[in-house]
Chain A
Amino acid sequence: DIQMTQSPSTLSASVGDRVTITCRASHNISTWLAWYQQKQGQAPKLLIYKTSILEREVSSRFSGSGFGTEFTLTINSLQPDDFATYFCQQYESYVTFGQGTKLDIK
């Protein structure tokens, strides 16, 4: 089974900051990685797929990069609406999610 480890678990930042979340895979997953945003009381929302492709209508302030076992999600110029929990998901072999990174206001 492929395990996904996100860091940090919690991240405090301010509006206007640039933040980066890391996701590490236990095995090589090439670029088969997606990122989701989840707000309190809502279902996850797809942000990025195949490591770096933005889903339709997702702000260009979000970007993804990486290959193999290490991946990052970067959010530029944080807006109030961005404070949420972020999950990575591998789909190279079955499906596995990371444990999540909660982004909160400093």
Chain B
Amino acid sequence: ELHLEESGGGLVQPGGSLRLSCTASDFSVKHYAMHWVRQSPDKGLEWVSGISWSGAKKDYADFVKGRFIISRDNAAKSLFLQMSSLRQEDTALYYCVKDTDPGSVSFYYMDVWGKGTMVTVSS
């Protein structure tokens, strides 16, 4: 059974940067798109960004465009999210999530979720 484990969260000041990482337990993830989804009490679940299996296609929610960069390293079974110009409203639990359609460049539904890493943006 595939497991995903996020790391890199923490407390950061507004305007600061943080890099989230996600490591998968096996190489099956290399065939699938991957996502970052965040959750906060006031905004619920929000899709943040997704990347195709090859890394060729990357998409972002409007509220992070120009500030966050998603990337992946299939050889290392890893997904990343470089976050900069952080705002208080970026405070949330960030989940690494696996998509379900192998080899597709489109995004679908999600079947494997990590436990999340908490990002707190505060002065």
Instruction: Identify B47's interface contact among A45, A46, A55, A97, CB under 8 A.
Output: A97
A83 interface hit (Cβ, 8 Å): no
Q: Is the Cβ of A46 less than 8 Å from the Cβ of B59?
A: no
Q: Is the Cβ of B95 less than 8 Å from the Cβ of A100?
A: no
Q: Is the interface of A mostly helix, strand, loop or mixed?
A: loop
CA–CA, A45 to B109, complex, Å?
A: 11
Q: Is the interface of B mostly helix, strand, loop or mixed?
A: strand
- What is the total of A-B residue contacts with beta carbons within 8 Å? 51
Residues of B within 8 A of A (CB): 35, 37, 44-47, 50, 59, 61-62, 95, 100, 106-111, 113-116
B4 — nearest CB in chain A belongs to which residue?
A43
Instruction: Identify B44's interface contact among A1, A34, A91, A97, CB under 8 A.
Output: A97
CA–CA, A45 to B113, complex, Å?
A: 8
Q: Which residues of the other chain, B, contact A94 by a CB distance below 8 angstroms?
A: 47, 50, 59, 61, 107
Smallest Cβ distance from B13 to chain A, in angstroms? 28
B61 — nearest CB in chain A belongs to which residue?
A94
CA–CA, A96 to B46, complex, Å?
A: 7
Q: Is the Cβ of A46 less than 8 Å from the Cβ of B50?
A: no
A99 interface hit (Cβ, 8 Å): yes
A87 interface hit (Cβ, 8 Å): yes
Q: Is the Cβ of B109 less than 8 Å from the Cβ of A87?
A: no
Interface positions of A from 85 to 105, Cβ below 8 Å from B = 87, 89, 91, 94-100
